[in-house]
Amino acid sequence: MSSSAQPAPETPVRTHRTGGVLVITIDRPHARNAIDAECARGLAAACEQLDADPDLRVGVLTGAGGVFSAGMDLKAAARGESAAVPGRGFAGITEAAIAKPLVAAVEGPAFGGGFELALACDLVVAAEGARFALPEVRRGLIAGGGGVVRLPRRVPYHLAMELLLTGRAVDAAEARSLGLVNRVVADGEALSAATGLAAQVAGNAPLALGAVKRMVALSGGVPEADAFAAQRQEVRALLGSADFAEGARAFAEKREPDWTGR
C-alpha cells in the first residue's frame, strides 16, 4: 500500500531571522495579503516572538508577491471572521504595545488596514510603486484600525482630513513629501532597504531602543512636565545598566559595543 505526501498547509504569516532582525511576511498573495482571522493571529504571534526573544532587536513587516496588504479580508469578514485580536487590535498589531522597533517594507498597495499597519510601524521604507490609501468611507466605514487616530498625528490636519474624507491614494513620492515614509527605493528593493535600516537600528543598545519607544508613545499624551518626569526615570535606569557601562567602555576603547540587554 503506497502513500503520497500531503502538501504542507498554507501559512499566512512567515518569519525568518537575519542577525538581530525578525522579518515578518504576510503571505497571502492570492488575496492581496488581506488580513483574515488566521493571518491576524499569525501576526500577533510573530510580534510576541519578536518581543520575547532577547536575541531579536528589530522587526521588519512586509507582504509577499509585490503587495504590502489590501487591508481587511472582506470575504472573510462576510463569513463572520474578525481580523482583530483581543487586546491587540486589527491584524494583532495596530493596538498592540510592541516593545521593539518595527519597520514596514512596502511594495505595491497598502490600502485600508494595510496603510494602518504601516502607520503602526516605527519606520517605513516604500518602493517607488507603493501606494497608500484609507478608502473606508467609500464602503460606509471609517479607518478604525488606527487611521483616523494616527494619521492626524503624522501630517497636518487638513491633509489628514483630505485623505480620510476622500479615500484617495497617494504614491510613495507624495507619502515621502508628507512625512509618512522614511525612504523611497526602487521597486523590488523595499525589503532589502528596510532590513538594512533595521540592522542599523539593531546595532544600538536594546534597553535604550525600548526606552525611546516608550517615551515617544508617552510624550504625545501627557503634559510636558510629566513627560520629563518619566524621562528622568528612564535615564536613571539606563545609567545603572550594564549596557551603558559597556557603551562607555566601547567608546573609550574605540570598538563596537557588545550589548547584553541588561
Question: Which residue among 10, 48, 116, 253 is the active-site one?
Answer: 116
Rounded CA-CA distance 32/137 in Å is 20
Contacts of 100 (CB under 8 A, 6+ apart): 50, 51, 56, 57, 58, 59, 206, 209, 210, 213
Of the candidates 149, 159, 197, 201, which has an alpha carbon nearest to the alpha carbon of residue 179?
159
Helix residue spans in 25-123 (DSSP H): 37-52, 74-78, 113-120
Q: Residues 180, 122: contact at Cβ < 8 Å? A: no
- Cα 200 to chain center, whole Å? 16
| 3-state SS assignment for residue 124 | strand
Question: Which residue among 136, 174, 234, 246 is the active-site one?
Answer: 136
Q: Is 256 a catalytic residue?
A: no
Beta bridge partners of 84: 90
Q: Is 174 a catalytic residue?
A: no
Q: Residues 77, 83: contact at Cβ < 8 Å? A: yes
CA 142 to each of CA 24, 231, 262: distance values in angstroms, whole numbers, following the listed order: 27, 35, 43
Of the candidates 73, 86, 149, which has an alpha carbon nearest to the alpha carbon of residue 113?
73
| 3-state SS assignment for residue 162 | helix
Q: Quote the cell numbers at residue 245.
A: 557601562
**Catalytic positions:** 116, 136
